[in-house]
Every structure is written in structure tokens, then in C-alpha cells.
Amino acid sequence: KELDSLVFELPLADFVLTGTITSLFPDRLVRYRYAALKAKDYLNLWLPHLVLNLLGRPGYPRESLLAGLRDSEWCTVAFRPVEQCREHLETLLRIYWSGLSRPLPFFPESSFHYAEQLIVKEAPPEKALARARGAWTGSDFHRGESRDLSYQLCFRGVEPLAGDFESLAAAVFGPLLAART
């Protein structure tokens, strides 16, 4: 049976994070996508997952599940409970705040592929960056993030996968990948 939505207001660092979490069941928070899973789907589950773990409300889950397609097959990805959820949320809020004053070289798909290669597959940074570049430029079979007009505007004349790209990718996706099962 689905639980009542969870309305929250959390003071974190210099911020107050407010919202409502839905799709809650006694065992887990559940999200799904009737298409191939993308980096944004992981992030859309990760943030409420961290909030649930930080709140630790009795009767509410500390695990989350994401279902979708991978290589044309249904798959599920679970997030186990996280202990440093406050630190992770504060890091994400600081990154968000910084991004309000200047364009940050964070591109969800490219960053996800970089972090996954580096952290999960333990590939050398050069190989992880090559994988990120593939997601950035795209191919005949998938559109690369570089085709996004807002990215083109913000990063024209600049190498987008340089500078803070690697550290931002690891800061955003590193904890997420560590909690993923």
C-alpha cells in the first residue's frame, strides 16, 4: 500500500530545502521510466532518497528503486541507505548555488558516464574522459549533449569537458554510484 506523501522543510547549511516526496511504499521509494534510463532519472531519485535518509521518519523507507530500460531490457537500480546524506545534500546545494552565478561544466549524461567509468569500473581518467566525450559529442545513433543550445551558448569558445568538469562529475555522481546496487 502506498504511503502518504511526505512534506518536508530541511535547514541545510545556508539553505532551506522544501518539497514533497511521493510514490512512497513501506519498503522503498519507487520511480520508473518507460524508456531508457538517463542520468537525470538517477538524479531525480537520488535527491529524495537523500532526504528520506536524512529525515529517517518512522514508517518511511530508507531504500529507493528505479526501474527502466537498459539495452532494450527492463532493469531495476536500487539505492541502499546512506549515512552521510546531510553532507551529500549540502554539497549538491553548494554546487547548485555556484551554478546560479556562472555556468558550470556539469552535463548530466557526460558527467554520469565519466563518473561511472572512473568510480565503478575503475578506469583510468583518460578512458573515463573518452567515454564522457562520446556522450558529449554523440553519434549517428544518439544525440550528444553538445547539441543542446544552452550548452552551446554558455560554453562557446571553451572546452566544456575541461576545468571543473571532472571534479563536478565525481562530486555529484560519486556518492550516488557508491549507494547504487
Q: Please report, in tens digits, the pLDDT of each residue of the chain (181 residues total).
A: 999 999 999 999 999 999 999 999 999 999 999 999 999 999 999 999 999 999 999 999 999 999 999 988 999 999 999 999 999 999 999 999 999 999 999 999 999 999 999 999 999 999 999 999 999 999 999 899 999 999 999 999 999 999 999 999 999 999 999 999 9
Contact 90, 175 (CB under 8 A): no
pTM summary value: 0.95
Q: What grid cell was written down for 128?
A: 573515463
Read off the pLDDT of residues 69-112 as tens digits, 9 standing for 90 and up: 998 899 999 999 999 999 999 999 999 999 999 999 999 999 99
Q: Quick one: 160 exposed, middle or buried, by C-beta within 10 A (0-12, 13-18, 19+)?
A: buried
Q: What grid cell was written down for 70?
A: 537498459
CA atoms within 13 A on the CB side of 113: 21
pLDDT for residue 126: 96
